[in-house]
């Protein structure tokens, strides 16, 4: 029987005692505030450092020192195949085959590479559809790819807006917009979770709707990876990109992730930007002209594996493999529900704009403050609550289930209830 929520430290302690994943908290390093762990609700921006990271980096430094170029073949984790050790765990998270996923570059670089492959304007079928208020990098990437094709971004990019007076997109409005522009639509690109509101979109339904109109469907899963289990293969998603420095705890600027459905990845004639590392390993070292892509997502790799930009992700994914994304999702739902409950005990003037339905949100709750949002965020930070602020007026709270506890949520509530309302 689940512990009923109550605004007490005892309730938080009972919830933590029942948490099967509680032990992972000690595997991560927290910023300090007044000699104690800060309340860290910013995993949606940058995940914490796993304790294993220092030793993992030192291993690669030692192998570089002792083996030099031979490390590509004889390091403890041979660099020639370094990227391959991520595939099994990421495939489990993203719901795909191991050869449909890889790690390389960074998120927006990978997005540009995917746009080269999947955006093919032809005649009137040249429109790109995205959600209004998407993360700026996605907006910039789509603006520039339109210009590269000598198209006007203002008329090429179709933005889907919430209804007047609403902050969330309705699925029926997304589907209606896709149908309206069906014979013009070349590509749909959306964020799986909106960074500002925390809304999770119906990826399977929206993907199918775009493809019925003859368009490719791609997703930016920066706020999804390591947060919510996916089924990208079964949902027939064409491609997806993500970063690994948020919920995956890969470190600042860490390597990006890429999914390409096997129907494209196993087609050697599918267009792409080519590089040595994406060439079939059986012919790579012949050093000849004539690109022969590897099967799967790895056929989009361009450059040598970025070992030192991958090593922190390796350390973190070892914990994900043990914990399991389904168990992490279950804990996340309860953590966020407890946070929502405690926020409901507060009389501070904010609105939770993240969907109330648990299935349409991840680990993040976005609090919209009509006034003084930035000042309230500053007060939180000064009192040891690390979260972030996004204009206009939103404080984002994201208790990541791998290292946040129910006591962290209760400590946040104690600070919040003692904060002045007028700043």
Domains of the chain: residue spans and CATH: 9-50+324-417 (3.90.1150.10), 57-320 (3.40.640.10)
**pLDDT tens digits, 242-282:** 999 999 999 999 999 999 999 999 999 999 999 989 998 88
The mean of the pLDDT values for the chain is 96
In this prediction, residue 262 carries a pLDDT of 98
Rg of the chain over all Cα atoms, to the nearest angstrom: 22
Both tokens of 30, joined, read: 């927290």
* Interstrand relation of 127-131 and 157-160 (parallel, antiparallel or unpaired): parallel
| 12 vs 407: CA distance, rounded Å | 5
pTM for the structure as a whole: 0.96
Neighbouring residues of 116: CB distance < 8 A, sequence distance ≥ 6: 271, 272, 273
The predicted model gives 45-52 an average pLDDT of: 98
In this prediction, residue 421 carries a pLDDT of 59
* Res. 316: pLDDT tops 80: yes
In this prediction, residue 218 carries a pLDDT of 98
Instruction: Report the percent of the chain where pLDDT is more than 90.
Output: 93
In this prediction, residue 276 carries a pLDDT of 87
**pLDDT tens digits, 111-133:** 999 999 999 999 999 999 999 99
* Res. 422: pLDDT tops 60: no
* Res. 423: pLDDT tops 50: no
């Amino acid at each position: 029987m689940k512990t009923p929520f109550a605004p007490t430290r005892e309730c938080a302690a009972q919830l933590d005692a029942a948490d099967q994943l509680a032990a992972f908290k000690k595997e991560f390093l927290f910023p300090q505030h007044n000699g104690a762990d800060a309340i860290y609700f910013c995993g949606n921006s940058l995940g914490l450092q796993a304790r294993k990271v220092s030793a993992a980096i030192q291993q690669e430094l030692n192998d570089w020192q002792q083996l030099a170029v031979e490390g590509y073949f004889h390091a403890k984790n041979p660099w020639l195949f370094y990227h391959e050790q991520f595939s099994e765990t990421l495939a489990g998270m993203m719901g795909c085959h191991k050869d449909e996923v890889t790690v390389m570059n960074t998120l927006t670089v990978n997005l540009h590479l995917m746009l080269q492959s999947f955006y093919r304007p032809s005649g009137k079928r040249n429109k790109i559809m995205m959600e209004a208020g998407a993360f700026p990098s996605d907006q910039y990437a789509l603006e520039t790819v339109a210009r590269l094709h000598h198209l006007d971004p203002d008329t090429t990019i179709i933005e889907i807006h919430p209804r007047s007076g609403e902050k969330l997109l309705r699925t029926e409005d997304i589907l209606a917009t896709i149908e309206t522009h069906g014979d013009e639509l070349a590509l749909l690109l959306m964020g799986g979770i909106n960074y500002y509101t925390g809304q999770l979109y119906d990826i399977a339904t929206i993907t199918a709707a775009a493809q019925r109109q003859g368009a490719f469907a791609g997703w930016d899963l920066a706020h999804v990876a390591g947060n919510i289990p996916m089924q990208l293969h079964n949902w027939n998603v064409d491609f997806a990109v993500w970063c690994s420095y948020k919920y995956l705890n890969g470190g600042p600027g860490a390597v990006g992730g890429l999914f390409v459905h096997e129907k494209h990845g196993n087609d050697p004639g599918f267009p792409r930007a080519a590089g040595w590392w994406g060439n079939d390993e059986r012919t790579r070292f012949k050093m000849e002209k004539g690109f022969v892509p590897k099967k799967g997502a790895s056929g989009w790799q361009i450059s040598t594996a970025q070992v030192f930009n991958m090593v922190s992700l390796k350390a973190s994914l070892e914990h994900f493999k043990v914990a399991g994304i389904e168990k992490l999702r279950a804990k996340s739902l309860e953590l966020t529900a407890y946070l929502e409950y405690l926020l409901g005990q507060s009389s501070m003037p904010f609105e939770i704009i993240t969907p109330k339905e648990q299935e349409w949100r991840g680990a993040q709750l976005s609090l919209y403050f009509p006034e003084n949002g930035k000042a309230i965020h500053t007060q939180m930070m000064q009192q040891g609550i690390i979260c972030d602020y996004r204009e206009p007026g939103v404080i984002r709270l994201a208790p990541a289930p791998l290292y946040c506890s129910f006591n962290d949520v209760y400590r946040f509530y104690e600070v919040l209830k003692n904060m002045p309302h007028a700043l």
